[in-house]
Amino acid sequence: MKYILMFAGTVDEQEQWDKLSKEELDEAYQRVGQWFETHSRSGKITSGAELQSPSTATTVRRKNGKVTLTDGPFIESKEVFGGFAIVEVKDLDEALDMATSWPGGSMVEVRPLVDHTPS
Q: What is the pLDDT of the chain when averaged over all its residues? A: 90
User: What CATH architecture is 2-112?
Assistant: 2-Layer Sandwich (3.30)
Q: What is the pTM of this model?
A: 0.84
Categorize the per-residue pLDDT at 76 as very low, low, confident or very high, splitting at 50, 70 and 90: low
Least confident of 25-29, 98-102, 104-108: 104-108
What percent of the chain lies above the pLDDT cut of 70? 96
What is the mean pLDDT of the segment spanning 14-40? 93
49-54 own/partner pairs: CB under 8 Å, 24+ apart:
49/83, 49/84, 50/82, 50/83, 51/81, 51/82, 51/83, 51/84, 53/14, 53/18, 54/11, 54/14, 54/80
pLDDT value, residue 111: 95
Report the pLDDT value the prediction gives residue 11, as an integer from 0 to 100: 81
Domain ranges of the chain: 2-112
> Could you report the per-residue pLDDT of 37-67, keeping only the tens digit for each?
999 999 999 999 999 888 888 888 899 999 9
